[in-house]
């Protein structure tokens, strides 16, 4: 059975072509080319700003009293500060790389994990495994909640050189979200509250309340320099912002040395995370 997202009708109006994923969900594959008038406008010549419906992107909200302990076990990277979004490294027990998700510390005992790479499905299975680890009969993460809110929130990506300018039409210029590597709640037009991740320069992910999603989609597109793009275009843009040496979109088993991962601040000095002891053997 085909599953249509909340913004499906908006994509139909734009003349989108669709593709089905393995779960039966429909995603935009492409939009028709823009008219020559739009393509030649001064706004488009001076600015680049894209929006994408990210429904179906891999994200998880981690919460509960043991959320920090879970993240510390799952990720090799330090995630100490609330309001921080950073690239992370998740390792398997043998020290090989599971994936490089972005992890946002969005509040007390709350984190958001975002993965736009080809490794996202593997990460999801690994997260489930780690959540149910047992020490004898004790389950250290039994009270950790891992959830998505697909019926309540619609993730929309804003990206490109003019993404900051677009957001400035909705929020104040002094908002903390403009700091690269941030996460915070923002209020669009003073009344639509969204969680916003800013994982990479000029790339934002807004979790828009479902009842406002169509309104905001149309509002963003009312600017001449804003162009809709398929989900995969936004994923690729974010992955291309990451160091090539990390091989983010490789599907092969990936083992990197401690030195390489440390060069990108992806590993912390302690050995409390999964894969740490094996990784330490590559230091020499």
234-251, pLDDT tens digit by residue? 999 999 999 999 999 888
Beta strands in 88-140 (DSSP E): 90-91, 97-99, 102-107, 110-115
Q: Mean pLDDT across the stretch 209-225?
A: 97
Q: At residue 128, does pLDDT exceed 80?
A: yes
Cβ–Cβ < 8 Å for 220, 168: no
What pLDDT score was predicted for residue 33? 73
pLDDT digits (tens, 9 = 90+) for 19-29: 887 767 788 99
Rounded distance between C-alpha atoms, residue 30 and residue 261, angstroms:
36
What pLDDT score was predicted for residue 40? 41
What's the start-to-end Cα distance of the chain, in Å?
53
Indicate the pLDDT class of residue 1, thresholds 50, 70 and 90. low
Rounded distance between C-alpha atoms, residue 75 and residue 50, angstroms:
31
As a whole number, the mean pLDDT across the chain is 91
Query: In the chain, what is the greatest distance between 2 CA atoms, to the nearest angstrom?
Result: 68
- Write down the residue that tokens 């690994």 correspond to: 126
In the structure encoding, which two tokens stand for residue 186, read together?
A: 């923002």
Cβ–Cβ < 8 Å for 206, 184: no
Q: Mean pLDDT across the stretch 148-160?
A: 95
Q: Mean pLDDT across the stretch 68-87?
A: 94
Tally the residues of the chain.
284
Per-position DSSP letters for 212-244, written without gaps between them: HHHHHHHHHHTSTTEEE--HHHHHHHHHHTS-G
Q: At residue 46, does pLDDT exceed 60?
A: no
Cβ–Cβ < 8 Å for 87, 187: no
Cβ–Cβ < 8 Å for 95, 273: no
pLDDT digits (tens, 9 = 90+) for 79-89: 878 999 999 99
In the structure encoding, which two tokens stand for residue 196, read together?
A: 């916003």
- Which contiguous run of DSSP H or E holds residue 127? helix 120-131
In the structure encoding, which two tokens stand for residue 161, read together?
A: 């050189």
What pLDDT score was predicted for residue 153? 96
Cβ atoms within 10 Å, residue 48: 15
What angle in degrees, to the nearest 10, is found between the helix axes of 120-131 and 67-74?
A: 130
Rounded distance between C-alpha atoms, residue 151 and residue 133, angstroms:
29
Number of alpha carbons in the 13 Å side-chain half-sphere of residue 23? 9
Q: At residue 36, does pLDDT exceed 50?
A: no
What pLDDT score was predicted for residue 10? 97
Instruction: Name the pTM for this structure.
Output: 0.92
What pLDDT score was predicted for residue 217? 98
What pLDDT score was predicted for residue 2? 62
Q: At residue 152, does pLDDT exceed 80?
A: yes
How far is the CA of 133 from the CAs of 61, 63, 126, in angstroms? 19, 17, 11
Q: At residue 284, does pLDDT exceed 70?
A: no
Rounded distance between C-alpha atoms, residue 226 and residue 224, angstroms:
6
| 47 vs 195 pLDDT, higher one | 195
In the structure encoding, which two tokens stand for residue 74, read together?
A: 């799952």
| 27 vs 71 pLDDT, higher one | 71
pLDDT digits (tens, 9 = 90+) for 7-18: 999 999 999 999
pLDDT digits (tens, 9 = 90+) for 179-202: 999 999 999 999 999 999 999 999
Cβ–Cβ < 8 Å for 203, 163: yes
Instruction: Report the share of the chain in percent with pLDDT over 90.
Output: 81
Rounded distance between C-alpha atoms, residue 68 and residue 62, angstroms:
9
Q: At residue 68, does pLDDT exceed 80?
A: yes
């Amino acid at each position: 059975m085909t599953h249509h997202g909340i913004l499906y009708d908006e994509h139909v109006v734009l003349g989108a072509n669709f593709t089905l994923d393995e779960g039966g969900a429909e995603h935009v594959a492409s939009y028709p080319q823009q008219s020559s008038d739009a393509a030649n406008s001064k706004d488009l010549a001076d600015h680049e700003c894209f929006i994408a419906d990210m429904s179906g992107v891999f994200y998880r909200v981690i919460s509960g009293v043991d959320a920090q302990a879970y993240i510390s076990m799952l990720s090799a990277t330090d995630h100490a500060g609330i309001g921080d979004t950073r690239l992370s490294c998740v390792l398997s027990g043998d020290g090989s790389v599971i994936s490089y998700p972005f992890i946002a510390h969005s509040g007390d005992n709350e984190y958001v994990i975002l993965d736009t790479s080809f490794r996202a499905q593997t990460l999801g299975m690994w997260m489930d495994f780690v959540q149910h680890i047992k020490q004898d009969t004790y389950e250290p993460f039994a009270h950790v909640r891992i959830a998505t809110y697909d019926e309540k929130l619609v993730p929309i990506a804003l990206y490109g050189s003019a993404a900051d300018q677009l957001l400035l039409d909705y929020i104040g210029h002094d908002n903390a979200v403009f700091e690269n590597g941030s996460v915070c709640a923002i209020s669009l037009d003073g009344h639509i509250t969204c969680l916003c991740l800013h994982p990479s320069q000029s790339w934002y992910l807004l979790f828009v309340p479902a009842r406002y999603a169509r309104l905001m989609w149309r509002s963003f597109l009312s600017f001449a320099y804003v162009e809709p793009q398929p989900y995969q275009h936004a994923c690729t843009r974010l992955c291309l912002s990451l160091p090539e040496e990390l091989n983010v979109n490789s599907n092969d088993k990936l083992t990197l040395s401690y030195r390489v991962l440390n060069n990108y601040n992806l590993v912390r000095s302690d050995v409390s995370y999964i894969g740490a002891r094996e990784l330490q053997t590559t230091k020499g």
